[in-house]
Amino acid sequence: MANPPVIPVGGGVYRIGDDSAKYTIPPNWFEHPSLSVPGGATFVWPLGIEGFRLTGTAQLGIHRYIGENEVVVQVTHASESRIEMSGEFPGKTGVVNMRALRDVIEAKTPEDGKLLRLPGVFPLTQYVVIENWDFNHAEDDRTETVLYTVTFVKTGVGKRVKRRKEITPPPNPKRRANRGNGSQVFRVRDGARTLRKIAQLVYGGSNQWTHLYTLNTQTLNRLNIPLHQLPTRLLPIGLRLNY
């Protein structure tokens, strides 16, 4: 049988039917940013921090006096900081991640704001409100990748962000990414038979089930479970999953 047609992707090739997410570095090599509603839902980015921008403005009272060359400037509001994050949700889980992030964005915002954690950028959790967001798929993109841009207005700071120890990737990360092998194995058992439940146990957050999918794409695809059912579908007891 002839190989499926290929299209160029980032200097390489992408075979029709492949999951383009496997051409990225595995997500467990990064510390993941997250957005959460205190006491509610949390979204954890599948990759590390990609596009990032921090801006601020000050409201000024500028006074000019007739016949004077100099002006008098008073700061009426010290700072209004904005945090912009942009990047992509690659592969067949792109739309799934888009919906999960949108759900947290559109959830009711508490009085103090939602919690944005950016390990390695801010040492403290940022209280934020979402100003605007944009999800799009480029018209010339033949993969399932979804691009995103989210702008936050900073309203305060919270607790210190816990940092994990630095992780050094093994040699030849591209080959490991293509195989999708994790460093540890979880066996599906009673009480932990869905990707969401397993992700809660091994990662500490059910929304990180997409990490399991990325690392076990071939194994999970053999089960012929529709992607939209995959997070909550019961898996066979004894199935081995890398994480």
pLDDT digit string (tens) for 11-61? 444 455 556 565 565 555 567 899 999 988 899 898 778 888 988 876 666
Q: How does DSSP assign 162-190, residue by residue?
A: P-PPP-PPPS-HHHHHHHT--SSEEE-BT
Query: What is residue 176's predicted lDDT score, i.e. its pLDDT?
Result: 36
**How many other C-beta atoms can be found within 10 angstroms of the C-beta atom of residue 109?**
15
Tell me how many degrees the CA angle 199-136-208 measures, rounded to the nearest 5. 5
pLDDT band at 232 (very low <50, low <70, confident <90, very high): confident
Q: Are 214 and 228 in contact (CB under 8 A)?
A: no
User: Residue 183: pLDDT above 80?
Assistant: no
Rounded CA separation 105/184 (Å): 32
List pLDDT tens digits, range 104-146: 999 999 988 999 999 888 889 999 999 999 999 888 777 788 9
Backbone phi, psi, residue 13, to 5°: -130, 155
The secondary element (H helix, E strand) that includes residue 210 is helix 209-215
- Reported pTM: 0.55
Tell me which of 166 and 38 has the higher pLDDT.
Answer: 38
Burial 46-67 (b: 16+ CB within 10 A, else e): bbbbeeeeeeeeeeeeeeeeee
- Count Cβ atoms below 10 Å from residue 18 Cβ, excluding itself: 18
Which of 44-58, 172-186, 187-201 bottoms out in mean pLDDT, i.e. has the lowest? 172-186
Residue 8: what pLDDT? 46
DSSP label of 45 = -
**pLDDT tens-digit readout, 61-101:** 676 777 667 777 666 555 678 999 999 888 778 888 999 99
Q: In 3D, which of 136, 156, 154 has the Cα closest to residue 146?
A: 136
Task: Write down the pLDDT at residue 177.
Answer: 36
Sorted by where each starts, the structural domains of the chain and their CATH numbers stand as 17-161 (2.40.30.200), 180-243 (no CATH)
